[in-house]
Amino acid sequence: MKLLQAWIELHKDELLADWELTLSGQQPYKIEPLWRAMNPRIPEVVPTENYKLPTLFTNGEKGYFDCSGLLDFGIFQELRDMNYFWRVTVSNGTVVWPHKQDICPDTIYIDSVKERS
């Protein structure tokens, strides 16, 4: 919800102008969509043996997200089992495991170590 509110604040003038155009029967202008304001998402992931997730992001960047810092916390403790850790998949642009563990794609993007080209 905060992201949506921030997008509205950024585009307030454009939204008001479009509203006026619409009221007068004119076609509104296009406004940059919300998804472009978000961090890139994850289309694929392949786990490694050291609890790192090499990730390719939708903007073409590559990085490594280290999950080892999560292994002592509640629901993520199950990821200590390497056989379970390897069962990671991608759903809706982020990484998930069978028992509903997931990591916010924004966290993965921000905290991952990016590969230099």
Q: How far is residue 104 from each of residues 10, 20, 109, measured CA to CA in Å?
A: 23, 37, 9
pLDDT in tens, 79-101: 999 999 999 999 989 999 999 99
The CATH number for 44-114, chosen from 3.90.1150.10, 3.30.2020.10, 3.30.70.100, 3.40.605.10, is 3.30.2020.10
pTM of the shown model = 0.67
In the chain, where are the structural domains located? Answer: 2-37, 44-114
pLDDT at site 65 = 96
For residues 95 and 89, is the Cβ–Cβ distance under 8 A?
yes
Classify the C-alpha dihedral 40-43-47-48 as positive or negative. Answer: negative
Q: Which segments of the chain have a pLDDT < 50?
A: none
- Residue 73 tokens read as 């916390």
pLDDT at site 35 = 54
